Amino acid sequence: MEGFTSFLPLSESTDFQKRDNFLHFRHFLVAIASNCLKLGELDVSGSMITDSGIAALTCAIQLNLQILSISRCRLVSDKSLPYFVKLGLVGLNLQDCDGINSRAVGRLVERLWHCDILS
């Protein structure tokens, strides 16, 4: 992908680099949602994806995303639940996502009964 930059691990980044990486990462997710319509599986585990990043994935009407892995993503919270439902996933990995509580996962399991959810 033209203009793609690498991302430093969050723990090794300065505040400026974190902010810069976040902006690049958000643009990267919007580009995925808009241009990778045949993408079936996306693994951003351990990244700095946020609720707004999950929302960005739902912007593409024709996105064919089936499996999303966001394990160890500390910045994703319960606010992303409606976006997971909107994506209509068949597989979702939420392991070690501290921002999503077990009650919210229970509600998600009820709404996405057809989806394998790891939490």
Q: Checking DSSP bridges between strand 67-69 and strand 116-118, what pairing results, if any?
A: unpaired
Assigned domain for 25 exists: yes
The per-residue pLDDT for range 29-57, each reduced to its tens digit, is: 777 777 777 888 989 999 888 898 898 88
The per-residue pLDDT for range 91-107, each reduced to its tens digit, is: 999 999 999 999 999 99
From CA 47, how far away is CA 12, in angstroms rounded? 13
Assigned domain for 3 exists: no
Assigned domain for 43 exists: yes
Who's near 77: CB < 8 A, 6+ residues apart? Answer: 51, 99, 100
Looking at residue 23, what is its pLDDT? Answer: 59
CATH number at residue 58: 3.80.10.10
Question: With 80 as the cut, is the pLDDT of residue 20 above it?
Answer: no
CA distances, 48 to each of 18, 71, 87 (Å): 9, 11, 20
Assigned domain for 74 exists: yes
- This prediction's pTM: 0.77
Assigned domain for 89 exists: yes
Assigned domain for 1 exists: no
Looking at residue 6, what is its pLDDT? Answer: 36
Question: Which domain does 104 fall in, by range?
Answer: 14-118
Given a contact cutoff of 8 angstroms between Cβ atoms, the answer to whether 57 and 83 are in contact is: yes
Number of domains in the chain: 1
From CA 108, how far away is CA 94, in angstroms rounded? 11
Q: What is the CA radius of gyration of the chain?
A: 14
From CA 9, how far away is CA 30, in angstroms rounded? 21
Assigned domain for 20 exists: yes
